């Protein structure tokens, strides 16, 4: 059956390439109306005075929506931008534009599912059909070798079964053109950050990359990292780095908003393996994408447990809720340089390396004993690559209430600093007030004597804080 008009509701799939929802709509309808809806529930203050979506994240989103609009215009269409609750605004738009169906990508977590359900029910009452499509993962949900309820709890088992029994599907075709109705349609403006009560972020120029939202930017990064700079062949050895654009792919912000498709990355890896080299590193990038899939399927399996204190474990409440300590952690004022450097990077750029995330998360939950959900909510606000499943499930994992088969995943911060920032360059980059402390000593200013501190221009409790916990001495 061919529809006359379909609305495609874009969510975290802000791309034209490999977009099943869009390509199915183009196939099934004479005319397609792409829509994005800025939902006020994604903004504003949450617990502890945090923003649900901070300004760096919101800026990246705005850029991605804006680029989607430009890409749709190149195909002869446009993007209708709405503000409000999608479950209300989109069916209303469908009625006013006489669209017969709404197509959208499926999400797995509660807030998003509630919106889907409400939208489906309102649309149904108005006689409008709805259809959702599975999009976010490398492996399609229908191709998994187990039902979602039996998703293996341990990553290795999940990975091995998927690798053995699933094939990554080919990408969906990119439409050559889109038939947009030739009627008067109010296109709507992309809002300014100030409309969400957010300030324009300042660019310090210190970030690992100038992250800019949008499909072309994501595809450009893929081209640069794989083909122009040939970094993929060394990925496994460099991926635990901290400084610079190319120790890891930095695909995550574009993946999170769907500006890049994981399948697009996968098939580019396969092409690279044919045309350049196939080695442990090329495999490892796909391995990491499987982690991403795993957390999405685990989130679907466990529902709201991933947001609850005990996670998927039967543990009792053993957490502290000390706001003053929490804000010292969040603001990068713990007096532990490796933690502070990472938090300062997050606060000023919206990005942090995987190694950094593991360390600061472990510090919050293990050294400070603070409720892990506060940390997850803080990351939700700040990370430009915030992905509900990857974020909350990684936090559960570090907090010991998730799927890690090992008990107590403690990261010794000084040892980690020594392994990954031996000369202290990373800390020096983010904490200039410690800049004169030489070598690895920059990781432990609290062990320097008075004359050393004076020589390096450091005043503990003055220009740099005393440590809020005593660190295990590391030699």
The contact set with ligand FAD (CB under 6 A) reads 239, 248-252, 255-256, 285, 288-289, 291-292, 295, 353-354, 357-358, 361, 379, 383, 385-387, 390-391, 394-395, 398
Q: Nearer to ligand FAD by C-beta: 82 or 285?
A: 285
Q: How many CA atoms lie within 13 A of 105 on its CB side?
A: 25
How does DSSP classify residue 438?
Answer: -
Strands (E), 127-203: 129-133
Q: How far is the CB of 379 from ligand FAD (least distance, A)?
A: 5
Q: 105 with 135: CB under 8 angstroms?
A: yes
Q: Nearer to ligand FAD by C-beta: 179 or 354?
A: 354
Q: How far is the CB of 460 from ligand FAD (least distance, A)?
A: 29
Q: Nearer to ligand FAD by C-beta: 36 or 294?
A: 294
How does DSSP classify residue 366?
Answer: I
- Rounded Cα–Cα distance for residues 459 and 322 (Å): 26
Q: Nearer to ligand FAD by C-beta: 392 or 456?
A: 392
Which residues, listed in sequence order, are joined to residue 3 by a DSSP beta bridge? 29
Q: 48 with 326: CB under 8 angstroms?
A: yes
Q: Nearer to ligand FAD by C-beta: 379 or 456?
A: 379
- Rounded Cα–Cα distance for residues 338 and 431 (Å): 9
Q: Nearer to ligand FAD by C-beta: 56 or 285?
A: 285
Q: How far is the CB of 249 from ligand FAD (least distance, A)?
A: 3
Pick left, alpha or beta for residue 188 (phi over 0 → left; psi -120 to 50 → alpha; otherwise beta): left
Helix (H) or strand (E) holding 256: helix 252-256
- Rounded Cα–Cα distance for residues 290 and 298 (Å): 12
Q: How far is the CB of 240 from ligand FAD (least distance, A)?
A: 9
Q: Nearer to ligand FAD by C-beta: 184 or 407?
A: 407
Which position has the token pair 């061919």?
Answer: 2
Q: How far is the CB of 241 from ligand FAD (least distance, A)?
A: 10
Q: How far is the CB of 376 from ligand FAD (least distance, A)?
A: 7
Q: How far is the CB of 424 from ligand FAD (least distance, A)?
A: 21
Which residues, listed in sequence order, are joined to residue 32 by a DSSP beta bridge? 6
Residue 440 phi/psi, 5-degree rounding, is: -70, -20
């Amino acid at each position: 059956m061919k529809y006359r008009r379909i609305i495609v509701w874009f969510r975290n799939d802000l791309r034209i390439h490999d977009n099943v929802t869009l390509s199915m709509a183009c196939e099934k309808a004479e005319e397609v109306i792409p829509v994005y809806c800025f939902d006020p529930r994604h903004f504003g203050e949450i617990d502890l005075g945090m923003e649900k979506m901070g300004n760096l994240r919101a800026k990246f989103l705005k850029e991605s929506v804006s680029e989607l609009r430009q890409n749709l215009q190149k195909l002869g269409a446009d993007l209708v931008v709405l503000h409000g609750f999608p479950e209300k605004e989109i069916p209303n738009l469908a009625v006013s534009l006489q669209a017969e169906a709404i197509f959208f990508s499926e999400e797995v977590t509660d807030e998003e599912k509630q919106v889907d359900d409400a939208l489906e029910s309102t649309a149904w009452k108005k006689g409008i059909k709805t259809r959702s499509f599975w999009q976010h993962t490398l492996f399609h949900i229908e191709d998994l070798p187990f039902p979602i309820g039996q998703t293996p709890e341990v990553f290795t088992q999940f990975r091995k079964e998927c690798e053995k029994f699933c094939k990554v599907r080919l990408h969906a075709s990119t439409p050559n053109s889109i038939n947009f109705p030739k009627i008067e349609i109010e296109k709507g403006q992309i809002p300014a950050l100030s409309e969400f009560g957010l300030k324009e972020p300042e660019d310090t120029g210190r970030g690992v990359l100038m992250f800019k939202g949008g499909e072309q930017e994501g595809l450009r990064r893929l081209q640069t990292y794989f083909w122009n700079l040939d970094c993929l062949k060394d990925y496994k050895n460099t991926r635990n780095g901290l400084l610079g654009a190319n120790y890891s792919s930095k695909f995550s912000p574009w993946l999170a908003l769907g500006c890049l498709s994981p399948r697009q990355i996968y098939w580019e890896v396969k092409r690279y393996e044919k045309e350049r080299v196939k080695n442990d590193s090329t495999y490892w990038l796909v391995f990491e994408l499987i982690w991403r899939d795993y957390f999405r399927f685990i989130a679907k399996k466990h529902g709201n447990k991933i947001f609850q204190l005990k996670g998927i474990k039967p543990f009792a409440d053993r957490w502290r809720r000390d706001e003053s300590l929490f804000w010292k952690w969040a603001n990068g004022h713990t007096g532990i340089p490796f933690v502070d450097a990472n938090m300062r990077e997050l606060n000023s750029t919206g990005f942090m390396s995987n190694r950094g995330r593991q360390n600061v998360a472990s510090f919050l939950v293990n050294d400070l004993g603070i409720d892990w959900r506060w940390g997850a909510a803080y990351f939700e606000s700040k990370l430009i690559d915030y992905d509900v499943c990857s974020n909350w499930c990684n936090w559960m994992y570090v907090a010991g209430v998730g799927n890690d088969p090992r008990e107590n995943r403690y990261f010794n911060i000084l040892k980690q600093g020594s392994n990954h920032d031996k000369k202290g360059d990373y800390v020096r980059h983010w904490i200039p007030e410690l800049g004169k402390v030489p070598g690895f000593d920059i990781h432990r200013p609290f062990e320097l004597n008075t004359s050393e501190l004076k020589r390096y221009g450091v005043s503990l409790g003055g220009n740099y804080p005393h440590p809020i916990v005593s660190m295990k001495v590391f030699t």
